[in-house]
């Protein structure tokens, strides 16, 4: 990052400065990702019965917001450069761009090996992918300027990098925001899940079904059941919980069996 700042100021390249700015946000982004993972492993306590796993999602959300802000800055600066072109030294720009590309590819290889679908690490990887794109843009722009002297290629390629960053940032914000709002996991259809529960032996009906994610890859569920005539409540409870775990991958579920045709919650509300 420091080399790219120096190289960008020396050569006058926005592409290098944009990539350096992205790397600067990576310092905070990777620190958030690391802190989220470390704190997410802390055990539950009396005040946080689910533990600290949600911190991973919060860190990913912040990462996504910083990506969106960075993309906006690059676009504004590119517009300024197009209106008032500056001299760019292609030699230093090319050398620093190649060095940055090598460093970013190494970072990507390290992070990719440990992602395994984790949204927090996905946010960190998205930052590094944006850095790779920025370094490639800087290298291409340096080659074009060196061959033709056409300097507008520098801010134009920076805008393309900003679009890639914007796309990654929005995806991270959307996914992490959905989890923070306790939305239904994207790979689950709640209507289909309700139907599958009602096909479990001994279940006459299911209602008040809620499915959400504590963190990426960890889904939770609650559901009320009405039993078929003569069904054993204990056996049905075990079958439904086994169904949720084996068929849907929900390890933690809370299943309530209503005593009759009426929902227990409705009975309590009317009594109150």
What pLDDT score does 28 carry? 64
What pLDDT score does 5 carry? 85
* pLDDT values of the chain reduced to their tens digit, one per residue, 272 residues: 888 888 888 888 887 877 777 677 666 667 766 776 677 677 778 887 777 778 778 888 888 888 888 889 889 988 988 888 878 888 888 998 898 889 889 888 888 776 565 666 776 777 788 778 778 888 988 899 999 989 898 888 888 878 877 887 888 899 889 999 999 998 889 999 999 999 999 999 999 999 998 877 788 999 999 999 989 999 999 999 999 999 888 988 999 998 876 676 665 555 55
Same domain, 30 and 158: yes
The pTM (predicted TM-score) of the whole model is 0.75
Same domain, 71 and 96: yes
Torsion of CA 76, 80, 86, 90, to 10 degrees: 20
Q: How far is CA 159 from the centre of its chain?
A: 23
Tell me if 125 is assigned to some domain: yes
Q: Among 180, 215, 235, where does a domain finish?
A: 180
Q: Are 89 and 11 in contact (CB under 8 A)?
A: yes
Q: Where are the alpha helices (DSSP H) in the chain?
A: 2-11, 14-40, 54-83, 90-112, 119-148, 153-180, 190-198, 233-243, 264-271
What pLDDT score does 29 carry? 64
Q: Among 180, 212, 242, where does a domain finish?
A: 180
Tell me if 241 is assigned to some domain: yes
Please state, in angstroms and rounded to a whole number, the distance separating the CA atoms of residues 67 and 250: 32
What pLDDT score does 236 carry? 94
Same domain, 161 and 38: yes
Token pair of 182 as six digits: 């306790």
Tell me if 140 is assigned to some domain: yes
Tell me if 185 is assigned to some domain: no
Same domain, 57 and 111: yes
């Amino acid at each position: 990052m420091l080399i790219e700042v120096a190289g960008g100021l020396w050569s006058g390249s926005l592409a290098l400065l944009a990539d350096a700015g992205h790397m600067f946000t990576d310092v905070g982004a990777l620190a958030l990702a690391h802190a989220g993972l470390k704190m997410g492993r802390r055990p539950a306590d009396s005040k946080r019965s689910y533990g600290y796993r949600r911190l991973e999602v919060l860190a990913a959300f912040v990462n996504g917001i910083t990506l969106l802000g960075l993309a906006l800055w690059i676009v504004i600066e590119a517009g300024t450069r197009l209106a008032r072109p500056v001299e760019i030294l292609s030699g230093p720009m090319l050398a620093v761009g190649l060095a940055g590309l090598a460093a970013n590819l190494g970072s990507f290889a390290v992070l990719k090996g440990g992602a395994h679908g984790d949204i927090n690490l996905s946010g960190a990887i998205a930052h590094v992918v944006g850095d790779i794109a920025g370094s490639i843009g800087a290298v291409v722009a340096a080659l074009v300027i060196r061959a033709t002297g056409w300097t507008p290629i520098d801010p134009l390629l920076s805008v393309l990098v900003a679009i890639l960053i914007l796309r990654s940032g929005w995806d991270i914000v959307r996914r992490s925001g959905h989890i923070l709002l306790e939305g239904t996991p994207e790979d689950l259809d709640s209507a289909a899940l309700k139907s599958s529960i009602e096909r479990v032996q001994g279940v006459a009906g299911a209602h008040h079904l809620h499915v959400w994610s504590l963190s990426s890859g960890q889904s939770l569920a609650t559901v009320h059941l009405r039993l078929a005539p003569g069904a054993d409540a204990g056996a049905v409870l075990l079958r439904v919980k086994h169904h949720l775990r084996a068929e849907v991958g929900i390890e933690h579920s809370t299943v309530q069996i209503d005593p009759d045709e009426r929902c227990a919650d409705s009975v309590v509300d009317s009594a109150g």
